[in-house]
């Protein structure tokens, strides 16, 4: 029966295609989920830095830094990037003393924020590139989840990496 | 924290990546973490307690040299077993884009994966052709570390992603406490004596040995008792043939030295010279010489300038300029106070490269990777104190 081969070949093809689609859907889902977790972590570190800066401002450096920290803490999503950049500028404008515990907390929080921002940017890029594949768009995989957004802020690192103190 | 580290190259052969992995693992253990290192190794070779062997490595020509790696179904099974038994909080792979255990581990792992890129490979045709496959590997990596600015640049430009730059560490104490070789470095007064050191392949053009040779020959003519100490792989005849017969007695060749002897060698000279003409991605040897408390004279390459803090921690001379090098050597050998000033600044610079400091920075990257995979924000204190 020569038709038989067509049937076999067609079912193999369908099988391979199905496996590929399932794998792709899983991949999109995984990357998307990871980008969302990275965004949550980034959010937590932004709050931490702003809180540490507010604590420091209450004791030293005064009103301007405190205001910048408050604005960063309360900023609505669309104004948040600008508010965080403003806080970074304020922190760079003051002389932070690594020996002071409150200053050290701000420096450490900024360093952790820089790492978190780096990871977030990479994971968002991966997720966006997976979602913008033609097949993924055609089959609307990942619908029901928002497009992962970049969080575009300046590098918040305060001291050059080579000067990171021990501990 | 339970940390799994994968080293792609065999521990049977010494190498930069292997040393890095061992030093990092030991520093993390000292900080109170549980560390397991998976690496290819012969069944009967002696290994530190924290290393798990993934079987014998096969030599394969790779990237211009021979790499001993393990790859294939048997290795895959071992990697998976190690991952299951280890139950790690974070997986840290080195050089994940080589055909190696690192690549297998990345493909088998779930959860936070940190990858360190050592070499600054430029975009090769293989890489370009395999972009789709590469993407699948890179996607599984949560956070990337580059050991040099150059390696980071490659990440940013060719692999479409950022990386955190964390330099190679140096086991400062090992170098600072090493005993100089008997009889070295010897006398050094104004106008006479003094010992200059060089370590590396003197036959390789980019290491710049001829620049040092010319400077040494010129300086030896006016400075009696000047000595040169050379260590590295190579044939002694090839080295001595480069010098006039009258000067050969003032040149000592140690051959290939082990890590411990390298430290002793660096402590045995007044000046360590790095006359490289290009291609150094980081300048590891400079930080080691600084750790040994030896004054460094280096060519004015980007990487060297960065390590030497723009010339505060060591003398820079124009790359490839034997006359400039000769002047720098003569001046510094005549002036102990100048050497001491540079060394004091070198101590400060090298403190930033000390392994405990570097390991803490790596731990922060682990924390960032863990947060991005299950959303937990890990406390700074917890990470800092282990």
pLDDT digits (tens, 9 = 90+) for A93-119: 887 877 788 888 888 889 889 889 988
Q: Which of A48, A116, A125 lies closest to B161 in CB terms?
A: A125
- Per residue in B291-324, pLDDT (tens digit) is 888 889 988 888 888 888 888 888 888 888 888 8
Dist. CA B316–CA B325, nearest whole Å: 9
**Per residue in B67-83, pLDDT tens?**
556 667 778 888 888 88
pLDDT band at residue B375 using 50, 70 and 90 as cut-offs: low
Can you tell me the mean pLDDT for A137-165?
72
HEC states along chain B?
CEEEEECCCCCCCCCHHHHHHHHHHHHHHHCCCEEEEEECCCCCCCCCCCEEECCCCEEEEECCEEEEECCCHHHHHHHHHHHHHHCCCEEEEECCCCCCHHHHHHHHCCCCEEEEECCCCCCCHHHHHCHHHHHHHHHCCCEEEECCHHHHHHHHHHCCCCCEECCCCECHHHHHCCCCCCCCCCCEECCEECEEEEECCCCCHHHCHHHHHHHHHHHHHHCCCCEEEEECCCCHHHHHCCCCHHHHHHEEECCCCCHHHHHHHHHCCCEEEECCCCCCCCCHHHHHHHHCCCEEEEECCHHHHHHCHHHCCCEEECCCCHHHHHHHHHHHHHCHHHHHHHHHHHHHHHHCCEHHHHHHHHHHHHHHHHHHHHCCCCCHHHHHHC
| Minimal-distance CA residue of chain A relative to B376 | A41
Q: What is the CATH superfamily name and number for domain B2-169+354-385?
A: Glycogen Phosphorylase B; (3.40.50.2000)
The residue of chain B with its CA nearest to that of A47 is: B377
Q: Do domains B2-169+354-385 and B172-351 have the same CATH topology?
A: yes
- Return d(Cα B330, Cα B216) in angstroms, integer: 10
Q: Quickly state the pLDDT bin for A1 (edges 50, 70, 90).
A: low
Test B380 with A108 for CB contact under 8 angstroms.
yes
pLDDT tens digits for range B251-277: 888 888 887 888 888 898 888 998 888
For residue A81, what pLDDT is reported?
A: 87
Tokens of B195: 């010992």
In the predicted structure, residue A14 carries a pLDDT above the cut 90: yes
On chain B, the residues whose CB falls within 8 A of the CB of A116 are 368, 371-372
Residue B92 near residue B4, CB atoms below 8 Å: yes
At A16, the pLDDT band (50, 70, 90 cuts) reads very high
Which residues in chain B are closer than 8 Å to A119, comparing Cβ atoms?
142-143, 368-369, 371-372
Contacts of A20 in chain B (CB under 8 A): none
The pLDDT score that the predictor gives to residue B129 is 62
> Which pLDDT score is estimated for B300?
87
**How sure is the predictor about A15, in pLDDT bands with cuts at 50, 70 and 90?**
very high
ipTM of the complex as predicted:
0.82
From A53-57, B42-46, B229-233, B374-378, the region with the lowest mean pLDDT: B374-378
Q: Are B6 and B38 in contact (CB under 8 A)?
A: yes
Chain A positions touching B380 (Cβ under 8 A) are 108-109, 112
Q: Which two tokens stand for residue A107?
A: 């420096």
Cα→Cα distances B142→A17, A120, B55, B114, Å: 29, 9, 27, 6
Q: Can you give the residue ranges of every domain in chain A?
A: 7-163
Between chains, do A118 and B164 touch, taking CB under 8 Å as contact? Answer: yes
Q: Which of B150, B243, B167 is nearest to B198 (CA)?
A: B243
Q: Which helix (H) or strand (E) holds A80?
A: helix A77-93
Q: Does B361 touch chain A (CB under 8 A)?
A: yes
How many CB pairs lie under 8 A apart between chains A and B?
Answer: 81
What are the domain boundaries of chain B? 2-169+354-385, 172-351
CA-CA distance, B105 to B82, in Å (whole number)?
Answer: 9
Judge whether residue B5 has pLDDT over 50: yes
For residue range B101-144, list pLDDT tens digits in order.
888 888 888 788 999 988 755 445 555 666 677 778 888 888 88
Q: What are phi and psi of A53, to 5 degrees?
A: -65, -40
Query: Average pLDDT for residues A135-143, to the nearest whole number?
Result: 78
* Band (A162; pLDDT cuts 50, 70, 90): very low
| Pairwise CB contact (< 8 Å): A41 & B372 | yes
Is the CB of B377 less than 8 angstroms away from the CB of A44? yes
Map residue A11 onto helix, strand or coil. Answer: helix
Residues of chain A in contact with residue B352, where contact means CB-CB under 8 angstroms, are: 162-164
Per-residue pLDDT tens over the stretch B352-373: 888 988 999 899 999 888 888 8
A126 → chain B, closest CA residue: B139
Q: pLDDT: is B221 or B36 the higher one? A: B36
The Cα of B375 is separated from the nearest Cα of chain A by a number of Å equal to 5
- What region does B60 belong to: left with phi over 0, alpha with psi -120 to 50, or beta? beta
| Cβ of residue B255 closer than 8 Å to a chain A Cβ | no
Topology of domain B172-351, per CATH? Rossmann fold (3.40.50)
The residue-averaged pLDDT of B21-46 equals 87
């Amino acid at each position: 029966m020569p038709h038989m081969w067509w049937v076999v070949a067609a079912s193999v093809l369908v099988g391979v295609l199905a496996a590929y689609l399932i794998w792709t859907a899983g991949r999109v889902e995984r990357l998307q989920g990871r980008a969302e977790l990275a965004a949550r972590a980034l959010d937590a570190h932004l709050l931490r830095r702003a809180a540490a800066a507010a604590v420091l401002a209450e004791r030293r450096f005064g009103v301007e830094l405190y205001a910048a920290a408050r604005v960063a803490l309360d900023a609505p999503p669309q104004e948040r990037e600008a508010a965080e950049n403003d806080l970074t500028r304020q922190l760079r404008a003051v002389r932070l003393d690594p020996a002071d515990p409150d200053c050290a907390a701000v420096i450490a929080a900024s360093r952790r924020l820089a790492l978190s921002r780096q990871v977030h940017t990479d994971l968002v890029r991966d997720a966006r590139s997976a979602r913008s594949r033609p097949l993924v768009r055609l089959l609307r995989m990942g619908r029901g989840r928002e497009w992962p957004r970049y969080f575009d802020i300046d590098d918040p690192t305060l001291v050059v990496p080579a000067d990171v103190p021990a501990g | 924290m339970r940390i799994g580290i994968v080293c792609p190259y065999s521990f049977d052969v010494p190498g930069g990546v292997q040393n890095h992995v061992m030093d990092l693992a030991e520093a993390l253990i000292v900080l109170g973490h549980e560390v397991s290192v998976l690496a290819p190794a012969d069944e009967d070779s002696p290994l530190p307690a924290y290393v798990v062997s993934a079987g014998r490595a096969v030599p394969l020509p790779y990237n211009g040299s021979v790499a001993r790696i393990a790859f294939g179904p048997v290795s895959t099974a071992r990697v998976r077993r190690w991952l299951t038994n280890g139950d790690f909080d974070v997986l840290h792979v080195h050089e994940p884009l080589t055909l190696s255990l690192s690549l297998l581990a990345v493909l088998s792992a779930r959860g936070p994966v940190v990858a360190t890129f050592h070499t600054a490979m430029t975009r090769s045709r293989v890489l370009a052709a395999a972009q789709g496959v590469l993407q699948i590997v890179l996607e599984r990596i949560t956070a990337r570390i580059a050991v040099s600015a150059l390696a980071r640049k490659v990440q940013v430009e060719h692999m479409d992603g950022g990386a955190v730059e964390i330099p190679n560490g140096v086991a400062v104490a090992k170098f600072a406490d090493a005993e100089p070789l008997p009889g070295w470095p010897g006398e050094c007064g104004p106008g006479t004596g003094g010992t200059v050191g060089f370590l590396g392949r003197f036959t390789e053009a980019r290491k710049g040995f001829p620049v040092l040779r010319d400077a040494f020959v010129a300086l030896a003519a006016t400075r009696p008792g000047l000595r040169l100490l050379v260590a590295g792989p190579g044939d002694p005849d090839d080295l001595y043939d480069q010098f006039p017969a009258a000067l050969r007695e003032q040149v000592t060749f140690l051959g290939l030295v082990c890590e411990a002897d390298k430290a002793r060698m660096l402590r045995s000279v007044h000046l360590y010279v790095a006359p490289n003409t290009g291609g150094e991605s980081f300048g590891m040897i400079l930080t080691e010489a600084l750790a040994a408390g030896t004054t460094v004279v280096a060519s004015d390459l980007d990487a060297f300038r960065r390590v030497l803090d723009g010339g505060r921690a060591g003398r820079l001379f124009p790359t490839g300029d034997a006359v400039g090098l000769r002047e720098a050597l003569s001046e510094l050998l005549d002036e102990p106070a100048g050497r001491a000033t540079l060394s004091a600044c070198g101590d400060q610079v090298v403190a930033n490269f000390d392994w405990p400091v570097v390991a803490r920075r790596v731990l922060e990257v682990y924390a960032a990777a863990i947060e991005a995979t299950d959303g937990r924000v890990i406390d700074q204190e917890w990470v800092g104190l282990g």
